[in-house]
Chain A
Amino acid sequence: KAGVTQTPRYLIKTRGQQVTLSCSPISGHRSVSWYQQTPGQGLQFLFEYFSETQRNKGNFPGRFSGRQFSNSRSEMNVSTLELGDSALYLCASSFGQVENEQFFGPGTRLTVL
């Protein structure tokens, strides 16, 4: 069974630009969660999508947004990039119930110059 995949793996952008990251969950999984990982703040929850609906949201500004498609693939978008957005962005997929394990992808390393 294929694992969670994220594209691209590495990305370099400049301040003010926008970026879209993609996450393909494990087949059959309907929930996709996104996390931001930085050395200073650690791992922080961005949002979760379940069956194309945002089910939970962390404390991030509106520049961070996401969506989920009918095939459960998810994208997150960051507009007007800031230097502080440089991070590893991880997505995790699961069947969506509280007892289900979340499986993480390898992450997308975003560098903002």
Chain B
Amino acid sequence: AQTVTQSQPEMSVQEAETVTLSCTYDTSESDYYLFWYKQPPSRQMILVIRQEAYKQQNATENRFSVNFQKAAKSFSLKISDSQLGDAAMYFCAYRSTTTGANSKLTFGKGITLSVRP
């Protein structure tokens, strides 16, 4: 079974600065998807960024980018130019590509990010 670990429960960043959120995972599969989701206090989960394991290039979405290290099973999220609206809980998630199991997202425990003005 796959597991996702987010070891930092909380982090804080100054507005306009850069912050990196860490995530490690364990799997025996070679092809899979990794995601970062954001859950603001309103609780609606939003996809921030996703990475397909077979792609070596790190995904980027505006101020958000990932550092995907497949051999190390590490998937960190970098938020540049942090904004007050980035304050939320962030979840790292894994999704298999195996038929019959690919609908399930396995989440880490999440990290609460606060942004200081």
Contacts and interface: CB of A to CB of B under 8 A. Distances in A.
Interface of A: 31, 33, 35, 42-45, 48, 50, 55-56, 58, 88, 90, 92, 96, 98-99, 101-107
Given A42-B107, A42-B108, A56 B43 contact: no
B91 interface: yes
Ranked nearest first, the 10 interchain pairs of A and B with the lowest CB-CB distance are A104-B45, A43-B107, A48-B103, A98-B102, A45-B104, A42-B109, A56-B103, A106-B44, A98-B97, A107-B43
Contacts of B109: 42
Contacts, number: 53
B106 interface: yes
Contacts of B50: 101
A57 B41 CA distance: 28
Contacts of B97: 98
A55 B45 contact: no
B110 A42 contact: yes
Nearest to B43: A107
Interface string B78-107: 000000000000010001010011111111
Interface of B: 33, 37, 42-47, 50, 91, 95, 97, 100-110
Contacts of A96: 103
A9 to B, nearest CB: 10
| Most chain B beta carbons < 10 A, residue from A56, A58, A88 | A56
